[in-house]
C-alpha cells in the first residue's frame, strides 16, 4: 500500500461518511503497532464507532487496546470537551464577576458552535502540544465525514481573522481577549497538517461516481488551505473474477465500479492511489481488521440460512412507508443516520414518489456535502429542491442584521456590528433560521429533509432545543401559554416523521440505535427505520456478496425485534438509483426490490 510507505508521524484519514475511514484508520494503526511502534488512534467523529470496531470501551481518554501491544485509542467526546471548555472559561471568573455577567458568558457558551469548537480545540492540541502525544511514534486520526472535517480545518483562518479584529468582544468561544493562545494553536495545527514531513493526508473513497466527485471537492478544499500533499485510497472494490462476472448483481456492480474509475475526476488522477478489495465479512474485531490490509487470511463465514429468508423477505419495501407518509397529506419527513447509508437517495426516492402521487413536495438538505441534484438528474412536477447552504444562509443573515439592527448605527457602531457578524458562530444562527423556515412549510405540503450525518444533525437539533427553551422562558414571563417552536413540531408525530436509515451491518445498526436514544431523550420518537442496500434482500450467487449477505440476517432481526416499531427493507439495486425514473422504481419496489405494498408494525420497543 503506497499510503503506508514510510509513514510520517501523523496520518489523517478523511472522506465521505460510510467509505471505510474508521476501518482503514484502525487497520493502519494495528499494522504500525505490529511493527513495534507505539501508536495513538484518535477519532474526531461526533458519531465515533472505534469502540465498536475494537469491541471494547474507549471513550474520551487515552486507552490501551487490550489485544494489540503498543496501540492506544482516544475518542474525542464533543459534549465532554464542551463541558471541560466551559469549566475552563467560566471557572476562573465565577464569584469574581457579577452573577449576571457570568450568566451571560454561560449563555454564549451554550450553543452547538461551542461544542464543535471545543472538540476542535482538543484535536488541535494533539497536533501542536508535544506533551499530549509524548512517547507516541505515530498518531492516526479517524475524522468526521468530509463536510464536518473541512469546516473544522477552515476554522483557524476564520477565527484568526475574527480574533485579530474583535479582541474586545465575546462569542461562543468565551471572552476573546484571552484567546490569542488558541489563535496561535489553530494556526500551528494547519501548519502541521500542511507539512508532508509530519503529516500524511489520506482521502478515502469508494468506486462510485458520486463519492469520487465528492472526494475531488475535498481534495480541492484541502489544497485551498495549503494541504495539497494527499494520498487516495479507493476502498471496497469488488474483485473482478469469473464468479462475479457470471452473477447478474455482481456483474452490474463491477460495471458501475469500472465506469466510475474510468471517469475518475482529473484532480485525483495525479494522486498516489491504492485499491482495497471488498471483504466478505464485516470489519469488526481484530482478525477482520488485520485481514483488511492483507496481514492475515480472510475470516471464515457461514453460508446464508435459507430457513431464515422468509422472515426477512416478509418485511415491506419503501413503498409501504410511503403509503403511511402519504396518508397525512402533508408534514415533515426527516431522514437521519450515519454518513454513507444512503439517506440522500432514499430522501429523493420518497420525495419523487410523493410528488408523482400529486402532492406538493419540497426536498431539501442540511448536509454540507449534499449531492441531491446529482441524485435527481432531472425535475418533476410538484417537486421543488433546495439546499441549506451554510455560506449562503450566513450571508443572508448578515445582510438582514445590518439592514435592521445596523440601520440606525453610526459608523463606529456599524463597524463593530460587522466585526461581530464575522464570527463563525454566526453560521450556526443562520443555518438554524433556515432550518426553522423549512419546518414551517410542512404545514401545507410535504417537506422531505436529507440531513447531515448523525453527529452534525444532533448539533442542529441541539440548537433547536436551545431556541425552544429560550422561547418558552420568554413566553412564560409574558404570560403567553399558546405558542409553537421548531422543537415542538419535531416532537409532534402528527407533524414530523423521522426515518432512521441504516445498513444491515453491526456498526451502522449500533450507531442508529444510539441516534434513536438521543432523539428520544430530546422527546422525538422515530417513526420508522429503513435498512438500505441489503444484499440479503437481493439475489446473488457471487461468493463475496453471498457471504456478506449471510451476515446481514442477525442485524436485520436485531432491528426488527429490538429497535424499530416500523421497518422497511431496501435491496441493493443492480442499477445505481440516479434519475427520476430509477428513483420512482426504487420507491415502488422495482429493480431488485420486493413488491409488498403493506407497511407492517413489528412490535413496540
> Which alpha helices (H) appear in 442-551, and where do they start and end?
454-478, 486-491, 506-521, 543-550
DSSP 238: P
* C-alpha grid cell, residue 323: 403509503
C-alpha 272/C-alpha 151 separation (Å) is: 25
Encode burial over 97-106: b for 16+ CB neighbours within 10 A, e otherwise.
eeeeeeeebe
Instruction: Report how far apart, in Å, the C-alpha atoms of 230 and of each of 124, 147, 155 are.
Output: 19, 17, 20
Instruction: Report how far apart, in Å, the C-alpha atoms of 406 and of each of 36, 238, 286, 413 are.
Output: 61, 58, 59, 8
Q: In what order do the strands lie in the sheet containing 496-503?
A: 383-387, 361-365, 446-450, 331-336, 496-503, 528-534, 567-571
Catalytic residue, from 14, 15, 16, 22: name it. 22
Pairing of strands 383-387, 528-534: unpaired
* C-alpha closest to that of 168 among 427, 419, 426, 409: 419
Catalytic residue, from 43, 45, 111, 142: name it. 45
Catalytic residue, from 133, 344, 366, 507: name it. 507
What is the rounded (10 degree) CA torsion for 598, 599, 604, 605?
Answer: 130
* C-alpha grid cell, residue 366: 442540511
Does the annotation mark 149 as catalytic? no
C-alpha 340/C-alpha 22 separation (Å) is: 13
Residue whose entry in the numeric block shows the C-alpha cell 498518531: 139
Catalytic residue, from 14, 15, 17, 23: name it. 23
Does the annotation mark 22 as catalytic? yes
Catalytic residue, from 18, 147, 589, 590: name it. 18
Catalytic residue, from 20, 320, 406, 455: name it. 20
For 325, residues 6+ apart whose C-beta sits below 8 A from its C-beta are 331, 333, 350, 354, 446, 497
The residue count of the chain comes to 605
80-89 contacts, C-beta under 8 A, 24 or more apart: 81/115, 81/118, 81/119, 81/121, 81/122, 82/109, 82/114, 82/115, 82/118, 82/119, 84/118, 85/109, 85/114, 85/117, 85/118, 85/121, 86/114, 86/118, 89/174, 89/175
For 411, residues 6+ apart whose C-beta sits below 8 A from its C-beta are none
* C-alpha closest to that of 338 among 17, 564, 15, 52: 17
What is the rounded (10 degree) CA torsion for 511, 512, 516, 522?
Answer: 60
* C-alpha grid cell, residue 476: 412564560
Does the annotation mark 23 as catalytic? yes
Does the annotation mark 405 as catalytic? no
Catalytic residue, from 16, 17, 21, 599: name it. 21
Q: Are 330 and 442 in contact (CB under 8 A)?
A: yes
Does the annotation mark 239 as catalytic? no
Q: In what order do the strands lie in the sheet containing 10-15?
A: 63-64, 71-75, 39-43, 138-142, 10-15, 199-206, 230-237, 273-277
* C-alpha closest to that of 513 among 460, 452, 555: 555
Q: Are 567 and 602 in contact (CB under 8 A)?
A: yes
* C-alpha grid cell, residue 64: 490501551
For 93, residues 6+ apart whose C-beta sits below 8 A from its C-beta are 101, 102, 105
Cite the active site residues. 18, 20-23, 45, 507
Amino acid at each position: 500500500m503506497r499510503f503506508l510507505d514510510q509513514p510520517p508521524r501523523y496520518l489523517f484519514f478523511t472522506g465521505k461518511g460510510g467509505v471505510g475511514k474508521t476501518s482503514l484508520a484502525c487497520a493502519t494503526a494495528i499494522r504500525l503497532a505490529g511493527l513495534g511502534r507505539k501508536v495513538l488512534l484518535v477519532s474526531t467523529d461526533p458519531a465515533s464507532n472505534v469502540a465498536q470496531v475494537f469491541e471494547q470501551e474507549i471513550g474520551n481518554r487515552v486507552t490501551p487496546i487490550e489485544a494489540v501491544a503498543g496501540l492506544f485509542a482516544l475518542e474525542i467526546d464533543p459534549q465532554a470537551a464542551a463541558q471541560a471548555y466551559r469549566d475552563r472559561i467560566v471557572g476562573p471568573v465565577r464569584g469574581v464577576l457579577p452573577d449576571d455577567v457570568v450568566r451571560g458568558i454561560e449563555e454564549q457558551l451554550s450553543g452547538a458552535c461551542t461544542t464543535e469548537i471545543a472538540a476542535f480545540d482538543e484535536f488541535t492540541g494533539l497536533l501542536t502540544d508535544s506533551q499530549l502525544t509524548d512517547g507516541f511514534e505515530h498518531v492516526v486520526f479517524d475524522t468526521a465525514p468530509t463536510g464536518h472535517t473541512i469546516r473544522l480545518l477552515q476554522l483557524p483562518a476564520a477565527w484568526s481573522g475574527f480574533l485579530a479584529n474583535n479582541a474586545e468582544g465575546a462569542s461562543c468561544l468565551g471572552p476573546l481577549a484571552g484567546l490569542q493562545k488558541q489563535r496561535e494553536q489553530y494556526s500551528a495545527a494547519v501548519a502541521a497538517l500542511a507539512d508532508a514531513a509530519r503529516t500524511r493526508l489520506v482521502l478515502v473513497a469508494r468506486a462510485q461516481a458520486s463519492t469520487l466527485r465528492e472526494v475531488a471537492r475535498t481534495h480541492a478544499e484541502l489544497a485551498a488551505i495549503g494541504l495539497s500533499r494527499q494520498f487516495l485510497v479507493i476502498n471496497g472494490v469488488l474483485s473482478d473474477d469469473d464468479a462475479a462476472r457470471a452473477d447478474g448483481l455482481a456483474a452490474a456492480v463491477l460495471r458501475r465500479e469500472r465506469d466510475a474509475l474510468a471517469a475518475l475526476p482529473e484532480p485525483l488522477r495525479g494522486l498516489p492511489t491504492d485499491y482495497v478489495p471488498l471483504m466478505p465479512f464485516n470489519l469488526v474485531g481484530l482478525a477482520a481488521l488485520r485481514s483488511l490490509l492483507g496481514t492475515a487470511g480472510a475470516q471464515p463465514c457461514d453460508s446464508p440460512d435459507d430457513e431464515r429468508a422468509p422472515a426477512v423477505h416478509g418485511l415491506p419495501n419503501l413503498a409501504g412507508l410511503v403509503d403511511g407518509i402519504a396518508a397525512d397529506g402533508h408534514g415533515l419527513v426527516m431522514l437521519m443516520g450515519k454518513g454513507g447509508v444512503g439517506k440522500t437517495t432514499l430522501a429523493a426516492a420518497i420525495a419523487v414518489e410523493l410528488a408523482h402521487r400529486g402532492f406538493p413536495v419540497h426536498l431539501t438538505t442540511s448536509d454540507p456535502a449534499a449531492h441531491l441534484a446529482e441524485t435527481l438528474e432531472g425535475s418533476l412536477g410538484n417537486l421543488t429542491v433546495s439546499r441549506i447552504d451554510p455560506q449562503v444562509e450566513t450571508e443572508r443573515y448578515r445582510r438582514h442584521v445590518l439592514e435592521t439592527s445596523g440601520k440606525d448605527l453610526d459608523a463606529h457602531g456599524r463597524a463593530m456590528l460587522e466585526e461581530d457578524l464575522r464570527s463563525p458562530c454566526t453560521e450556526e444562527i443562520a443555518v438554524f433560521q433556515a432550518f426553522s423556515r423549512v419546518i414551517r412549510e410542512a404545514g401545507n405540503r410535504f417537506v422531505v429533509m436529507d440531513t447531515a450525518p448523525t453527529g452534525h444533525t444532533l448539533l442542529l437539533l441541539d440548537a433547536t432545543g436551545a431556541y425552544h427553551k429560550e422561547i418558552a422562558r420568554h413566553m412564560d414571563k409574558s404570560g403567553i401559554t399558546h405558542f409553537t417552536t421548531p422543537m415542538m413540531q419535531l416532537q409532534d408525530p402528527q407533524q414530523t416523521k423521522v426515518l432512521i436509515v441504516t445498513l444491515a451491518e453491526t456498526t451502522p445498526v449500533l450507531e442508529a440505535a444510539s441516534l434513536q436514544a438521543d432523539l428520544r431523550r430530546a422527546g422525538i420518537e422515530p417513526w420508522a427505520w429503513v435498512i438500505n442496500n441489503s444484499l440479503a434482500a437481493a439475489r446473488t450467487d457471487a461468493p463475496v456478496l453471498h457471504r456478506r449477505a449471510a451476515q446481514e440476517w442477525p442485524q436485520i432481526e436485531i432491528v426488527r425485534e429490538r429497535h424499530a416499531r416500523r421497518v422497511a427493507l431496501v435491496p441493493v439495486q443492480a442499477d445505481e438509483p440516479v434519475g427520476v425514473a430509477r428513483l420512482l422504481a426504487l420507491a415502488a419496489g422495482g429493480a431488485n426490490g420486493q413488491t409488498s405494498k403493506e407497511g407492517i408494525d413489528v412490535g413496540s420497543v
